[in-house]
Structure 1
Amino acid sequence: MKKVLFILMIMVLSAASYAEGRVEKIVKNKKIRVGTTGDYKPFTYYNGKEYEGYDIEMAKYIAEDLGVEVEFVPTTWKTLIEDLENDKFDIAMGGITRRTDRKLRVELSRPYLVFGKCPIVRKADEGRYTSLEAIDKPGVKVGVNIGGTNEKYADKNIKSAQIIKYEKNLDVPVAVMKGEVDVMISESPEAIHYANEYKELAAPMVGNPLTKGQLGYLIPKGEYDMLNLINFIMDEMELKGVMDELKAKEIR
């Protein structure tokens, strides 16, 4: 009888432990861990002291709404999903495109921004690179960051131009300004940001992008309570106008 009671007690304790999901752990530990690359303006940028950008402010709001602290965990585009799967953080945020191949491995939040692929070029070349055909020519150098959707787009669509790959996304617009590459494959919010920040750069196709996509957040596979919670908070933020305020402040 004692043996049976002991086994039953172990089963109950195991069940209780198993039932504690990610949301419960976040609330219990009073901390949400946010994985972010810190290299994609205007969504996530590490300035040497702290992270800033649209999704950084979103993360802070979510943490405040939950009554917990936020811990930003550095990651890279190349290891983004692997780090999430290895429990290095609870959610990935920072200008992340919703894609089918990502959906197969993780949960995707509701979208919060529609965007498109477009080039960033030198101001002097603004009228030159206004289509994929104009970009994909012999002698043209195209810069992309390794591990993201910009690289995937270039590998699939650039056949004649030379593709030059960079470890850090922040290095690519600098390479355009220096003349190391002629075109950076980017996305419309980032292209607008750099065109406004640097007079040497232009974003000629933001009104007519090469593709259309949506941005969202990544959550570990099967964590439906976490997914529903994040979607609920995002819905509330949109309803209250918080998203519009952040977009006006950060995406410009």
Structure 2
Amino acid sequence: MKRRTFISLMSVMAAAGVLTLAGCSNSSGSTAASGTAASVAPSAGDQLSNIQSSGKLIVALEGAWQPWSFHDESDTLVGYDVEVSRAIAEKLGVEPEYMESDWDSLFAGLDAGRYDIVCNGVEVTDERAKTYDFTEPYGYIHTALAVRKDNEDITSFEDLKGKTTANSLASTYMELAESYGATVQGIDTLEETIQLLTAGRIDATLNADVSFYDYLNVHPDADFKLVAQTEDASHVAIPLRKGDASAPLLEAINTAIEELRADGTLKELGEKYFGQDISAEN
């Protein structure tokens, strides 16, 4: 698929000095996955000042979740989250440096201080809000349910009881499927999940509606259909470590997001990568 370098969950936890399970795939391209980022650690100081002093904002994302973050044909890291975080970094007066990891390692790396922020289509949930401070939303999405085109048994989330799905471990999609009684197989990427679905090895899968739309735009003959979606939109925001040290950074990123919304940048990026503006709640 794409050249990828995975940061294992165990190595991240070892760096943190604890065995913690937290936290959607992965690739290494535009920046080094060690070195500079390894020097980033939780500090009692002002995190924003530290970032501005270093001149770099360490951003964690998957790098293999199109169109949020992925590698194009030239192996350049691109995507909605890449451009949003780059615009935010510019507002802060620094350069972004990207660290790529699989979904279930992103939060552990944030906890360990390996990253300043996670910009990876993260949905705000009550459970996550207990551990992290979230910025203002920079996107609004719905979770959609996909099945093979010939599947007539699953037409709603309620029909997932006793069925098999595949999603990233610890993702909101996995949690939602399990809440309806599905058995979930852990898979790293949307591409792999759809391959399992169309091959008939799983019954269904869940993901952001806009991610499915993008996939179907690229693969119009793909053998799956969307049969349901959540009624309420999920808020996509950036999680930061809780604490007074992160407060100035949280405020600065919130200001940047509002400016990017007001000047039309978020609308333009949404239309570029999703074919629609996702910066406003519908």
Q: TM-score, normalised by structure 1?
A: 0.81
Aligned partners of 1:245 and 1:58: how far apart in 2?
Answer: 11
Does residue 50 in structure 1 map to residue 76 in structure 2? yes
- Counterpart in 2 of 1:69? 95
Aligned partners of 2:180 and 2:232: how far apart in 1?
Answer: 11
Does residue 191 in structure 1 map to residue 217 in structure 2? no
Aligned partners of 1:243 and 1:201: how far apart in 2?
Answer: 31
- Counterpart in 1 of 2:274? 251
Q: Where do 1:31-50 residues align within 5 Å?
A: 31-47=56-72, 49-50=75-76
Select the structure of larger CA radius of gyration.
1
1:170-227 deviation digits (Å, cap 9, x = unpaired): 4212212232223111121112222222221444246x43664211111111211111
- Counterpart in 1 of 2:176? 153
Name the SS for the 2:201 alignment partner. Answer: coil
Match of 1:25 among 42, 47, 50: 50
Aligned partners of 1:249 and 1:237: how far apart in 2?
Answer: 15
Q: Tell me, which stretches of 5 or more residues in structure 2 are unaligned?
A: 1-42, 276-282
Q: Where do 1:1-252 residues align within 5 Å?
A: 20-47=45-72, 49-125=75-151, 129-136=154-161, 138=162, 140-159=163-182, 162-198=183-219, 199-205=221-227, 208-209=229-230, 212-222=233-243, 223-252=246-275
Judge conservation of contact 2:64–2:71 (CA < 8 Å) in 1: yes
Give the number of equivalent residue pairs.
Answer: 229
Name the SS for the 1:95 alignment partner. Answer: coil
Counterpart amino acid of residue 221 in structure 1 = K
- Structure with bigger helix share is 1
Q: CA offset at residue 124 of structure 1? A: 3.9
Structure 2 CA distance for partners of 1:183 and 1:43, relative to 1, 3 Å: same
Counterpart amino acid of residue 145 in structure 2 = P
- Report the RMSD for the aligned CA atoms in angstroms: 2.3
Q: CA offset at residue 134 of structure 1? A: 3.6
Counterpart amino acid of residue 168 in structure 2 = N
Q: TM-score, normalised by structure 2?
A: 0.73
Same amino acid, percent of matched pairs? 21
